[in-house]
Amino acid sequence: MKLVSWNVNGIRACVRKGFTDYFQKIDADIFCIQETKCQSGQIDLPFIGYQQYWNYAEKKGYSGTAVFTKKKPCTVFYNIENKETEPEGRIIVLEYETFYLVNAYTPNAKRELTRLPERLVWEDNMRRYLIHLDQQKPVIYCGDLNVAHLDIDVKNCKANMGNSGFTFEERNKMTELLASGFVDSFRYLYPDRPDCFSWFSYMPTVRERNIGWRIDYFIVSEKIKNKIQEAEIHSQILGSDHCPVVLHIDLPM
């Protein structure tokens, strides 16, 4: 099974920059996107052979997630802990016969860390929810998780210490999650591989010089880590400030 996750930073803009070509070429079984920045009826993506599920933010032009899947899931949720709504459209949960898929766009702590307390509550709630799901069947958790976990996941780690996405608190929450029975699929396969990034700022030439952060993930239940076949970052794909990340895993849908 092949899964893709991509923060498109506005699906309408990304479509104008080649999203459809990449989508069709990659031919994923499940394709998750974050930061769609659109409302219902603002875009039509008639991909033949895929079911589509969208979670729109109440605020126009903000946040939002979507999932395209070749197989119809058993159940779909648009928030965690059985809540019906999530005002920023940050979560879609798909239940399949053999696993749960959780597509998420984690809140940013903001430049002055004004949203850090809220972010930490989000992390605790998400960890509890993922553990709850994992007790029923394996979990694949993906998306823009807005944290670079290890020093190796940021090009200039010393200069970025304490910045949003690289605070001790945020990194520790990822450590806690992984210690709860989950693995970072990319670092599971490539624990020491440097200079692998999924996000680049819009500052001039940083992408060309590969000065970035790895903040987009596929996290999977530890019980299925031996099913991971490959984990990729498609850094050559433009269209957003993020790159698509890809998971190949030996699981039936």
Active site residues: 105, 144
Other Cβ atoms within 10 Å of 111 Cβ, number: 9
Taking the C-alpha atoms of residue 168 and residue 177, their distance in angstroms, rounded to an integer, is 14
Yes or no: say if 129 and 190 are a contact pair by the CB < 8 Å rule. no
- Close Cβ partners of 119 (under 8 Å, ≥ 6 residues apart): 106, 107, 108, 109, 146, 170
Is the separation of the CB atoms in 179 and 194 below 8 Å? no
77: helix, coil or strand? strand
What whole-number distance in Å separates Cα of residue 158 and Cα of residue 68?
38
Helix (H, G, I), strand (E, B) or coil at 58: coil
DSSP 170-202: HHHHHHHHHHTTEEEHHHHH-TT--S--SB--S
Helix, strand, or coil (residue 248): strand
**Distance separating alpha carbons of residues 27 and 105, to the nearest angstrom:** 22
CA distance 34 to 17: 16
